[in-house]
Structure 1
Amino acid sequence: MDFETLKESLTLKHVLELLEHYRSFGMLPGVIVTLLESFFPILPMFVLVMANAAAFGFWQGMMISWIGACLGSILVFLLARKVGQKQFFKFLSRYQKVNQLVNWVERHGFGPLFLLFCFPFTPSAIINVVAGLSRISRQQFILAVLFGKMVMIFVISFIGYDLEALAKQPLRTVIVVVIIFLLWYAGKKVEARFSLTEKASKEDS
């Protein structure tokens, strides 16, 4: 089975059937399918999150998807940092655009990563690897993942769980926008606290 055939088979109906087949394992299959998307970006995150919401209910499905997606991103980040960083920097001079992308992530930190993780169609696998190859702190990356993936998964679950209600109640869309802003603001506050802590530690040492 080639990648295109696999991708075409990963419809909402087929994923729901898969989750139902392994229902005896509880929420583990739902966590695994969203975790694997970080390693295999061909997997449709939008469909996987919607399937979890439909199979487990809105809140439980959302939490299952969030746990799996965050674990997957953090694992890829740590693997890229541990295995690839030393070899990668040997080739920076040959790939100037990649060098610029890594430097951009290092300079801007939490903000752009958070926004990228908010959108379900961004290549999160590439973002995870680039962040791992950069010198961005683990705290900043993990914060961006936790808050950004929360927004993304909440929105997909919210939309996919009841499309008809969303169309009939535009106020719900406004609520989504407000929640995105609040989560972004909270993430920046937490990041500032980490920065102050790191600065104080350096001054003490």
Structure 2
Amino acid sequence: MKKKLGIAVMYLVVAILIYFYGESILSWMRHSGKDSVVITSIVATLLALFPIIPYPVIGGIIGAAYGPVLGAVVTWIGSALASILMFMFVRFGYQDWGMKVLSSNKGLNKITILFEKNAFLTIFTTRLIPVIPSILVNVYSALSRVHFIPYSIASSLGKVPSMILFATVGSTIATNPKELIYIILFYGTFLAIVYISYKLWRKRVLSKVKIKTPY
């Protein structure tokens, strides 16, 4: 119990600090030079771990400050590390409680088993769809029996397209706003393909659950 409470308190304290000093942090990021890449990556990780400020905004600011290529790398590092850290926090502090919750419902337990068997593909695909909250993927994966290495690789790879988008949009707004429409059209088409593929795959998986579950 002390371990769970300690992690929750630590998380809450850092979240409060970011809430009060978020604007100052964003201002520093806007004016930080390229010599501050390491520090900016650490700050981006903290801002992704405690999503008080929407991360697309963070990625856009980093892209405007560092350019589309370096900005995308820094944005990706921050987001990927934050997801891995969140996974570790939840896995270390709350998995025993989470496993009881997931196994207490027959239907949810069946879905969790299928998720664990197809963990890499599921995590990778859900990362490609920005409308699926990242924190839900982090927590659900950590509470399940998904192993750390497959989660980290699938999660990090799946984040690449959206992080490139955030940084590129920020850089484009700062340099050539007219090209923004082409970026939106291209990424919108990409998302539509990914989302339709995901829905078809999810429908197939859920149909297996219904067939095998006698309720």
The answer to whether TM tops 0.5 is yes
Deviations 1:133-170 (A, max 9, x none): 11112232112122111111012222332142132x47
TM-score, normalised by the number of residues in structure 2 = 0.64
Higher-RCO chain (CA-CA 8 Å, sequence separation at least 6): 2
**Deviations 1:62-117 (CA, angstroms, capped at 9, x unpaired):** 11111111111111112222221123223445567765664453133122211222
Equivalent position amino acid for 1:55 in 2: A
Q: CA deviation at 1:28?
A: 3.4
Distance in 2 separating the partners of 1:56 and 1:170:
18
- Deviation per CA, 1:38-69, whole angstroms, max 9, x where unpaired? 43233201000011111112111111111111
Match of 1:116 among 88, 109, 126: 126
Amino acid across the alignment from 2:186: T
Identity value in percent: 26
In structure 2, distance between residues paired with 1:98 and 1:23: 48
**CA-based RMSD:** 3.7
Equivalent residue number for residue 150 of structure 1: 160
**Matched letter for residue 37 of structure 2:** M
Q: What residue is the counterpart of 1:52 in the other structure?
A: 62
8 Å contact kept, 2:80–2:155 = yes
For 1:43 and 1:170, the matched residues in 2 are separated by 23
Report 1:128-167 matches (<5 A). 128-162=138-172, 163-167=177-181
Relative to its length, the structure with more helix (as a share) is 2
Q: Distance in 2 between matches of 1:171 and 1:121?
A: 15
Q: Distance in 2 between matches of 1:88 and 1:30?
A: 33
1:173 corresponds to which residue? 186
Equivalence for 1:191:
none
In the TM superposition, what are the counterparts of 1:1-12 in structure 2 within 5 Å?
A: 6=19
CA contact (8 A) 1:38 1:124 kept: no
Task: Give the Cα–Cα distance (whole angstroms) in 2 for the partners of residues 104 and 159 of structure 1.
Answer: 36
Distance 2:134 2:98 in 1: 19
Distance 1:33 1:98, change over 3 A: farther
Structure 2: gaps of 5 or more residues: 1-14, 195-215
2:84 is matched with which residue? 74
- Contact 2:128 2:158 (C-alpha < 8 Å) held by counterparts: yes
TM-score by length of 1: 0.66
